Amino acid sequence: MKPKTLFIILDLGISIRNILRTDVLQVLQNQKDLRIVIFSTITDQNFQEEFQAENVIIEPVPKWKPNGIVKLIQSIKKDLWAENKQIFTFMNRREKKERLLTRWLLIKPLKMVHPKGIDLFLSCLSKAEMACTPDLNSEIFEKYEPDLVFYTTLYTKYLSLEVSAQKRRIKTISFIQSWDNPTSKGPFPVTPDRVIVWNEILRNEVVNYHNMPKERIHITGVPQFDLYLDRQSFLDRNDFFEKWNLDPQKKLITYTTGSSNMLPDEHEVIQGLYKDIFINGKCDHPCQLLIRPHPKDDFDYANRFRDHPGLVIQRPGQAAETKDKWNPKREDMYGLAELMLYSDIVVNIASTITIDAACFDTPIINVMYDGHEAKPYMESCKRYYDYDHYRNIIATGGVKTAENREELIANINRYLVCPEDDREGRKRIINEQCWRLDGKSGQRIASVVLDYLN
């Protein structure tokens, strides 16, 4: 029999981590009579040596820049969807765009004509968008003749293979790689036949906001957390502290930054925390501070804090030609897991790191202030706590929040004395966000893909 061909498309470091460096690829690769073509923004020799195999081929991701008509349709779709769904997260992100013309020319008339007028018109626009998109990647589809296209790139800017597969009526399945995507990224640019999500919250959002039938949505858990169950592969605490020049006799406070556009003055928050710990002596226990910058953060923490004793910088993986500028190797994945396990407290601003820390029952503090000076709401980090996906975290009671320096150091001292505080809330975070933390999410994703392929 002719072997079946599966396309896997990814363009982010978190996609490489979730799909290629978990059981997803391993299970798929072990299937007889299955050829896998991975389309990646990284295709260098190291990447090929790591993933290319007898039945695995590496190809660069083809890009297509939409023409003016398609861009216009996409913009109108976003405006209509924002008005129709009234999702705070997307409305907040979209507020800077001028939507008055769309509102008066389309939204009000559509609402007057039919209760579901906007939904119907959005469907028409999607068809028009496909019709206005040229035939793309014919040589690739003729060369490989894929039976299924599996992509993690639902919201990428340069959709190409994904659109081509839909136009050719080839089966498609998409993994929504981040928990904020259904509420922050707008309407689906393309419509996959099947969708894979982390948890029930995301499934409900895809049903309610993207009109996807529930039976076409598969819950699998979060593959990037699978290795958190593989603790026999972790460094022990003493070896971890030695590796990162940490003092095993002191409490470890870990601060993970957001991307630079989240809070441009986040270094001021860190400076204030450092001063309160090491200069003002406000911590009730001997502590040390570790900063782990966001993969997309281009702030030079290493130079700014070079002469700060008691402070360590942990770089998150290797820089790469991916959309998120990151290529996390397995060593880095385990390094993050070890950091979450051995930290006494994790501090961040409305980040996925909150879930990582909860997986190890590590106390979490969320910063809700902007540095030395408060900023207007639309520029403040406070707005992130009103985003739909993060409101679910706050509602669990699994984190403490700090609206100023004094509250941050006070919460640190509370957790240092009573790390069991908010434990039930952290358990709720795991149950709601991870669905099942059993180390088998990657296997479940592979099973969903194979079931649909066959």
Task: Provide mean pLDDT across the span 230-253.
Answer: 97
Task: Provide mean pLDDT across the span 232-252.
Answer: 97
Contact 180, 355 (CB under 8 A): no
Q: What is the pTM of this model?
A: 0.93
How is domain 231-434 classified at the CATH fold level?
A: Rossmann fold (3.40.50)
Q: For domain 4-66+133-225+439-453, give the CATH number.
A: 3.40.50.2000
Query: What's the burial of 142, exposed, middle or buried (CB within 10 Å: 0-12/13-18/19+)?
Result: exposed
Q: Reply yes or no on whether the pLDDT at 93 is more than 70.
A: no
Residue 89, pLDDT score: 79
The CA-CA-CA angle for residues 393, 357, 239, to 5°, reads: 175
- Bridge-based pairing of strands 4-10 and 148-151 is parallel
Residue 180, pLDDT score: 95
Residue 150, pLDDT score: 98
Task: For 202-215, give the DSSP string.
Answer: HHHHHHHHH---GG
Q: Who's near 388: CB < 8 A, 6+ residues apart? A: 87, 88, 89, 180, 183, 184, 205
Tell me the C-alpha distance between 120 and 19, whole Å. 35
pLDDT in tens, 387-431: 999 999 999 999 999 999 999 999 999 999 999 999 999 999 999
Average pLDDT, the chain: 91
Q: Reply yes or no on whether the pLDDT at 104 is more than 60.
A: no
Copy the structure tokens of residue 91: 């409305």
What is the C-alpha end-to-end distance of the chain, expressed in Å?
13
- With b for 16 or more beta-carbon neighbours within 10 A and e for fewer, the 202-228 pattern comes to bbebbbebbebeeeebbbbbbbbbbbb
Contact 12, 157 (CB under 8 A): no
Contact 88, 387 (CB under 8 A): yes
Tell me the C-alpha distance between 181 and 154, whole Å. 9
Q: Which of 71-80, 176-185, 298-307 has the lowest mean pLDDT?
A: 298-307
Residue 208, pLDDT score: 94
Q: Reply yes or no on whether the pLDDT at 299 is more than 60.
A: yes
In 3-state terms, what secondary structure has residue 382? Answer: helix
Q: Reply yes or no on whether the pLDDT at 94 is more than 80.
A: no
CB 407: neighbour CB atoms within 10 A? 16
> For the chain, where do the domains classified as CATH 3.40.50.2000 start and end?
4-66+133-225+439-453, 231-434
Tell me the C-alpha distance between 1 and 188, whole Å. 36
